[in-house]
Amino acid sequence: MENVENVKKVGFFKLGKAIKFNENSWGAIGGDCEPKQLINSIAKRNPNIEYWLLSPNDLGRVRAKEKPAVQSLFGDPVKSKSAAESNIHEFHSKMENRKSADETVKFIKELDLDFIFFYTGPSSTVNIPNYINKKDGNGQVKSLDFFKYYAAPIIQAMNELEKKVPIVGLLVDNRYVLACKDWGINNRPTYYLAQNNFTKEEQYFYQPPLRDVKTFMSTYEYSGIETVFLLDKKRYDTDELFEMKKTDSFMMLQNQGKGTGGMDRWDPVRDYIVKNDIKTDIYGKWDDNLKEEYPQWFKGEKRIESMTDELLSTKYTFCVPIKEGMVTSKYAEMLHYGIIPFLHPSYDTEFNVFPDGHFIRCKTPEDLKKKVEFLNANPEHYKKLFYNLQEKYLKDSYYTGEHVDNKIWEAYNKITTKTKVNV
């Protein structure tokens, strides 16, 4: 693509969180795996580019534990599988020995990056301590430690970069639209790869430490970024996958989401699953009172990586977005294991993935139950739907990294050529 040949050094971070390369530290259900999968895939496809991790991370510690190459009797030395591509670099060394804010800012500025892309994540209105006046005028805002350590240094570095660097955001959770007003406009993204389409008016403090704000518009564009889960996976043979479906089992891997700024999934689950008397094993983080009242449904938290056998034998699931209208990664995760993902009416309301009227879209609880009963009673229809979903909605480019890599470089070209995007 045009302009890409000029890119030699790229920055990557997860705002408000650490990047974890040690898979044992990943949470049961969530996006801990995605930054590692994404940056490894992108770096592998672009071996001549340096990729720098700007977030605190554990890569140094993980690499230190990797076994050195061993000389074989015949041929080249045999290397152990590495946690990251060799063109991925970090400067925090170890998470417990992460650089101070000032050191981080200095290092990022000295990197002289050509391009930056990042995952949005937890951030506050004010992340940088002593940056902006309090509302009452008595002193300056201190910032909570969480934001001080995991968001502030990067935001401060972006503010202090002398040159304007092309920067693209990846929004995989609409709860994490940037809240920060202390991220200035000079190197603040206005274009995001997202899981639905919208524009949003945002604000920044333009004359710190004063609290006066200016507004600007950001563009969020559906991009298929929810398929990152598939990047380090080997695609199953469709015929073999079909033969594994021995039972009519139903499973859900989703957190409740209560109190996180998104949808409380209990209401849809209550109406479509529990009251509908659909026998379903539900794994994830849910209120204790629900687990106590409905033990036949709620089974606790489990990592998806530990449930391969159960997933491969499961036929159906039910997907509820964390925010109205979104496409989440859940449909792709479930299709990977050969599971038919029925969709709540609030899922993919723009029809970015599945067209209006598609069989897996459910208008009511009764609709869901009838469709499950129909497929169980008509195996030929189940088989036809199974193969159609695998062939049409699971692209090989999702697994190889070609899709997401192309989307990121397309975004780079959009913001550097200033077409269609407010920059």
CB 193 within 8 A of CB 223: yes
Determine the pLDDT at residue 69: 57
Looking at CATH, the fold of the domain delimited by 236-393 is given as Rossmann fold (3.40.50)
Determine the pLDDT at residue 423: 42
> Does pTM top 0.85 for this prediction?
yes
Residue of higher predicted confidence among 322 and 183: 183
CA distance 155 to 153: 6
Determine the pLDDT at residue 88: 96
Taking each helix axis from N to C terminus, what angle separates 402-417 and 33-45, rounded to the nearest 10 degrees?
A: 80
For residues 370-377, give the mean pLDDT. 96
For residues 148-169, give the mean pLDDT. 94
CA distance 244 to 314: 8
Band the pLDDT of 79: cuts 50, 70, 90. Answer: low
Which percentage of the chain shows pLDDT scores above 90? Answer: 73
pLDDT at 325 over 80: yes
Band the pLDDT of 419: cuts 50, 70, 90. Answer: very low
Which of 114, 79, 135 has its CA nearest to residue 6?
114
Determine the pLDDT at residue 72: 53
Query: What digits encode the pLDDT tens for the residues 19-38?
Result: 999 888 877 555 788 899 99
Band the pLDDT of 71: cuts 50, 70, 90. Answer: low
For residues 275-299, give the mean pLDDT. 92
